[in-house]
Amino acid sequence: MAASEDNEDEDVATKKSVPVRQFSVFLPNRAGALLSVVRMVNDSMAEVLGVSVLDSMDGTVVRIVVSDPESVETLFIEKGIPHSMLELVAIELPDNSHLANCLAALLEAETNVHFCYPLLCRPNDRPVLAFCLEDSEFGASVLLNSGFKVLYEADLSR
Percent of the chain topping pLDDT 90: 70
State how far the Cα of 18 lies from the Cα of 153, in Å rounded to an integer: 6
So what's the pLDDT on residue 1? 53
Asked if residue 128 lies in contact with residue 118, where contact means CB atoms within 8 angstroms, the answer is yes
Upper half-sphere CA count for residue 40 (Cβ side, 13 Å): 19
Residue 144 neighbours by CB under 8 Å, 6+ apart: 150
Each residue's pLDDT tens digit, 89-114: 999 998 878 899 999 999 999 999 99
Q: Give the global pTM.
A: 0.82
Residue 67 neighbours by CB under 8 Å, 6+ apart: 46, 47, 49, 156, 157, 158
Structural domains in the chain, sorted by start:
3-86 (3.30.2130.10), 88-156 (3.30.2130.10)
